[in-house]
Structure 1
Amino acid sequence: MTSMTAEMSPQQLIVWRILQRAQVEITRSLEIALLSKHDLAPAAYDVLFQLFETPGRRLRMNDLADRVLLSRSGLTRLIDRLQREGLVEREACASDARGLYAVLTTAGEERFSEATPTYMRAVRGRFLGLLNDEELRQCAAMLAKLFPPGS
Structure 2
Amino acid sequence: MAAAQARRDDELDTWRRLVVLTNQISNTLDRRLQRVHGVSVAEYTALVVMQENKRSGGIRMQDLADAIGLSQSTVSRLVARLEKDGLTERTIGAEDRRVTYAHVTEPGETVVAEAAGTFAKELHTAMDVAAFDHRTASLVARLRHDPAAPAG
Trace 1:14-25 onto structure 2 (pairs within 5 A).
14-25=13-24
Change (3 A) 1:12 1:39: same
Aligned to 1:33: 32
Matched residues in 2 for 1:112 and 1:66: separation?
20
- Bigger strand fraction: 1
Matched residues in 1 for 2:84 and 2:54: separation?
23
Structure 1, 71-80 or 53-62: larger mean CA deviation: 53-62
Which of 131, 146, 149 aligns to 1:137? It is: 146
CA contact (8 A) 1:51 1:103 kept: yes
Aligned to 1:101: 101
Gaps of 5+ in 1: 139-151
Matched residues in 1 for 2:54 and 2:84: separation?
23
Change (3 A) 1:100 1:13: closer
Structure 1, 83-92 or 11-20: larger mean CA deviation: 11-20
Which 4+ stretches in 1 moved above 3 angstroms? 5-9, 11-17, 128-132
CA contact (8 A) 2:51 2:103 kept: no
Aligned to 1:79: 79
Aligned to 1:58: 58
Change (3 A) 1:8 1:60: closer
Q: CA RMSD of the aligned region, Å? A: 2.8
Name the TM-score, length of structure 1 as normaliser.
Answer: 0.75
SS at match of 1:27: helix
Change (3 A) 1:93 1:16: closer
Gaps of 5+ in 2: 132-139, 148-152
Aligned to 2:117: 117
SS at match of 1:91: strand
Q: 1:96, CA displacement in angstroms?
A: 0.7
Paired amino acid for 1:110: T
Matched residues in 1 for 2:82 and 2:51: separation?
14
Paired amino acid for 1:94: A
Q: Give per-residue Cα distances to partners, 1:75-105, cap 9 Å, x unaligned.
A: 1111110000000001121111121110110
Aligned pair count reads 133
